[in-house]
Structure 1
Amino acid sequence: MSPVPLIFWIVALAHTVLAVCPRPPEIPLATADVQKEEFNIGEEITYHCNPGYVPYSGARRYTCPWSGRWPIVTFRCIPKKCYYPGHLENGVTEHSDLTYQSSIRFSCHPGYILQGKETAQCLADGKWSEKLPKCQPVACPPPPVSEFGALSYRKRVPGNVSVFQDVIEFECLPPLALFGNETAKCLASGNWSELPECRSVECPYPEQIENGFINFALRRTYKYKETVQYGCNPPYELDGASESSCEKTGTWSMKPACRASCAIPVKRATVLYNEQKLKVQDHLRDGIKHGETIWFFCKNKEQQCSYTVPSQCIDGTLSVPACFKERGWFSTLVKTDVADMTPCENIS
């Protein structure tokens, strides 16, 4: 054998025997399972994502080739994602990301207090470092009302504790009057809105009414909400409520008036009264009371029919419609009463 080929064969054999792969390339967010400086041909390594990261692309396993050079490593990892922690009732959840090592911040709306941690971090296992907190309503202390005082209150919602937006209702012990709001609300600050107060109120002796009287009224001052009853002398009628009460302004509520009855200013006529046809001369000699209404019958000469026109008694005054024609005694014997004619509304 020629010495030259032999030398080349020896060099190639030595190179083959001595070929090794160096330390594998470092990959961001990942680590090879075997860590050493040299790898023999045919040895394998496997990349694993670091805690908190998951595979995204590329092959994990690589083999040291005859060339002694590692192939291009395409393996890549990305941060692991945590689940959305959930809706914070009466609060706000602030975050820009939900991946490993990112943080989330919790806060409550005005009137609520955070129970739990203000922040949580996404951990390597894909879970949050803290549980979802709760927003509890601010509590208000009992209002500064003496147990035996004139001002008392009651809650609209049962329970021993008053919280944000709860409402309480106030009342004063008789005969005191309540001034201010009848309710107070528990505010976001933990304080109550403005409370009312109780004051003593007196009304002077009530005024008399014309043509009337006050029932059994003692001549004295009256306390808040005390009442008196009014009445009218015959034949007057009461117009308005018979009762008047002492109000918190120190004045009386609106008092009634006594109104006069009305005489019907015709001697003979048939009218409608309380949905009945009645003759004035027979049934309505005493007239009608204030506020009552009668209907006069008028004649439509063109259609030879009748129609009614109302007239109401207002404090002794009753007007007769211009269309009404009073009939004399003889006319009642020979002519048909307008009230007995066919109603115009029945003529097509």
Structure 2
Amino acid sequence: MSPALFILGTISIAAHTILASIAKKCPDPGPLKNGNIHFTDLSYPNFIRFSCDPGYILQGPNTSQCLANGRWSAKLPECQPVICPLPLDCEFSVLSCHRLHPGSKSVFQDEIKFECLLPYALFGSETAVCEADGKWSALPECRCTQCPKPEGIENGYIYLLLRRAYHYKETVTYGCNPTYVLDGPAESSCEKTGQWSAKPVCRAPCAIPVKRATVLYNSQKVKVQDHIKRGIQHAESIWFFCKNKEQHCSYKVAAQCNDGNFTVPACFKEQRITSFLKTDIADLPPCDTIH
């Protein structure tokens, strides 16, 4: 080897050694979204390793080497979420699925909501989650549910009662006989348990156990014997006038009809004999206006 070539080779090796010593460390490559970077040393010629969190798949290289020029041999990869295909039950059965997130595909931690085509009822969770293994959490079951013929209610009836079995979510409507008041929802529905939801009750009217009296009814002064001698309906109230003998004035006390039960206020005194000289208690000045 000529002296000139020997000198050039020596210079090249020395330059490479100097360059390696100067650029022996690579920059921090992270972070890796939805993943991790594993390393012990970021200096030349070490490797780093990539991994993804559960539910994510590595797209790209799984390692990268720190080169002598201070750069990494490969770009940072990506961690893409796993994809869960819609269950076959959602496409070929009475079970219907709806994505709760926008998009044409369902990925890790996305949810779908289930419904059953009527007359089937859903048993199990109404939602499922896309899990890390690319499968959905437990799917519900659709079962055909029927309810027996609905029972009637006392002092009432059922509109258009059909002589057949009733299926899930079908309803019947109740009504009450005249003077009775419906208490509760007018409709009862067939539930997935095969039972009907709560029925309403027909509440009875109340007779007024007073022959003569001036009372306040629907914000008007009326005579019991003339206007409400047939009584009042459930939950209705009338106000009786009671007398304060010391101040010679009147005050009102309410009484309400409760399913056929009615109690006249104890302070009320019925005037048995009508007299033109005797003032009706309802015509006395109100006590709250007397000072």
Q: Report the TM-score range of the alignment, normalised by the length of the smaller protein.
A: 0.7 to 0.9
CA contact (8 A) 2:180 2:205 kept: yes
| 1:172-228 deviation per Cα after TM superposition (whole angstroms, max 9, x unaligned) | 222121211222211111111111122111111111111111112122221112211
Shift of 1:128: 2.4
Distance 1:175 1:202 in 2: 8
Is the counterpart of residue 51 in structure 1 residue 19 in structure 2?
yes
Q: Note closer, same or farther for the CA distance 1:35–1:108 as it changes in structure 2 (3 Å cut).
A: closer
CA contact (8 A) 2:243 2:281 kept: no
Q: Note closer, same or farther for the CA distance 1:126–1:233 as it changes in structure 2 (3 Å cut).
A: same
Shift of 1:51: 2.6
Match of 2:34 in 1: 90
Q: Which runs of 5+ in 2 are unaligned?
A: 1-7
Give the counterpart letter for 1:323 in structure 2: C
Counterpart pick for 2:162 among 206, 218, 227: 218
Which runs of structure 2 are paired with 1:229-240 in the superposition (5 Å)? 229-240=173-184
Deviation larger for 231-240 or 280-289: 280-289
Which structure exhibits the higher relative contact order, with contacts defined as CA atoms closer than 8 Å and separated by 6 or more residues?
Answer: 2
Deviation larger for 132-141 or 287-296: 287-296
Give the counterpart letter for 2:98 in structure 1: R
Give the counterpart letter for 2:193 in structure 1: T
Structure 2 counterpart SS, 1:123: coil
State, as a whole percentage, how many aligned pairs show the same letter.
60
Is the counterpart of residue 109 in structure 1 residue 77 in structure 2?
no
Which runs of structure 2 are paired with 1:189-208 in the superposition (5 Å)? 189-208=133-152
Q: TM-score, normalised by structure 2?
A: 0.81
Q: CA RMSD in A?
A: 3.3
Aligned length: 282
CA contact (8 A) 1:94 1:106 kept: yes
Is the counterpart of residue 294 in structure 1 residue 238 in structure 2?
yes
| 1:32-73 deviation per Cα after TM superposition (whole angstroms, max 9, x unaligned) | x9969xxxxxxxxx999723444xxxxxxxxxxxxxxxxxxx
Structure 2 counterpart SS, 1:51: helix
Match of 1:322 in 2: 266
Structure 1 counterpart SS, 2:89: coil
Is the counterpart of residue 261 in structure 1 residue 205 in structure 2?
yes
Distance 1:231 1:221 in 2: 21
Distance 1:211 1:288 in 2: 17
Distance 1:121 1:347 in 2: 100
Distance 2:120 2:187 in 1: 20
Shift of 1:94: 4.1
Give the counterpart letter for 1:198 in structure 2: C
Which runs of structure 2 are paired with 1:240-255 in the superposition (5 Å)? 240-255=184-199
Distance 1:304 1:80 in 2: 110
Shift of 1:149: 2.1
Distance 1:48 1:146 in 2: 64
Distance 1:302 1:253 in 2: 56
Match of 1:136 in 2: 80
Give the counterpart letter for 1:174 in structure 2: L
Distance 1:153 1:295 in 2: 58
Give the counterpart letter for 1:167 in structure 2: E
Counterpart pick for 2:129 among 185, 190, 213: 185
Shift of 1:110: 1.6
Give the counterpart letter for 1:315 in structure 2: D
Distance 1:294 1:336 in 2: 17
Which runs of structure 2 are paired with 1:295-310 in the superposition (5 Å)? 295-299=239-243, 307-310=251-254
CA contact (8 A) 1:186 1:192 kept: yes
Rg larger in structure: 1
CA contact (8 A) 1:235 1:260 kept: yes
Distance 2:157 2:82 in 1: 58
Q: TM-score, normalised by structure 1?
A: 0.69
| 1:266-320 deviation per Cα after TM superposition (whole angstroms, max 9, x unaligned) | 2344444444444434433332211223343445566776554433221111122
